[in-house]
Structure 1
Amino acid sequence: MGEEDDVIASHSQLHVKPFSDLVSGEEINDSPIEEVRLTVPITDDTTLPCLTFRTWVLGIASCIILSYANKFFGFRANPLFVSSVTAQIAVVPIGKLMAATLPTRQYTVPFTSWSFTLNPGPFNLKENVLITMFASCGSGGVYADHIIISVKAYYHQGLKFAAAFFLVLTLKSIFSNTCIPEALPSVGPVFRIPILKK
């Protein structure tokens, strides 16, 4: 009986959270890996700007560059793949350079009370993560481009722009589990099929 009580006691201790892990009645979602706990903070610094001019410029540029590079290198006999981690590492010095050189002047949007700045402060982790998300959108390819390229290369036929565009849009919508009326609510009714009246 003594060994069973010890096993039950040690098992119950595994599921008990110490009082220090509770903050105002909520559990802290902390990583079990020590290196992650030491590196990544468990709180969010809401003072850090994230959707900045640097984020949009570097994010769109990395998306375009990675999509072009992966498509270009994909035609090789031994294709190369450039991942979004490359952009994640490459944009850090560029972001810090932009933070050092862009003006901090406040610009106002005409006829509104909105204002923005090109340089809200030092380049931060949130901007880097968002730029990496932009880059990952460009690093993956479009499934339909193989169809368009095969038709041109092997059958010596060209697809008209509208046909190629709707082919890409259709397959991208199907494989990414999106729906056009949900993605574009302002043009949603245009894509509805009219119901025939008897």
Structure 2
Amino acid sequence: MSLWVSSIRRLLTPLKRSVFYRFWQKRLFGSAPEQTRRDRPIYVPLQGRLLQRRSFQSCSPIEMLEHTLAQSTCPIVAALHPKEIYSAEELTVLERLAAQHPRLTLTMGQMERHLQNCAFVVTQNSAAAFSGYFFGKPALFFGQIDFHHIGVRADLADLSQCFAAAERAEPDFAAYLWWFWQANCINAGRAEAEEKIAARLRRFGWPV
């Protein structure tokens, strides 16, 4: 059992975890998380620099998409980020992939709709994967990210097993989100927030 699972189960009852989870589902996404299914496409939220592999990534975003096409026969939705600016070369490569693979659909944004319908999320480190936790959707990560604990890490040497693991994953989303937000983050809206921030800075040697 992982450290975060054992610690959260000691701290919080299943009922409280569920109440916390449902509160934030509704606050962030309204009724959308209540209307989900997991037998639809794989959702691949894209970020920027599609042709470049950066230091925190196991491959470039385009290569990630190619791996996804190679490892699964499911329909795939690749969503461009509405705030990114893509080069003509990047768009040409995407369009070429879509022409070669009819089961690949290119779209822009619409995160909530795709999270409602997808089987799981494949990404480098998009925050869409964290949002997916509120929809009960597992994530497969091709990059480093803070909220990796209940996701599957892509191993380029064994991708078939990684995709299989993501497809069957059923982590305790409610417990994890409570652990991540309440036990390991500082709530800026609470009275003790200022002292917690100061204590955190002191721990790492900042003069406060």
Question: Do both proteins adopt the same fold according to a TM-score greater than 0.5, normalized to the shorter chain?
Answer: no
TM-score by length of 1: 0.23
Give the structure with the higher percent helix: 1
- Return the TM-score normalized by structure 2: 0.22
Where relative contact order (Cα < 8 A, 6+ residues apart) is larger, the structure is 2
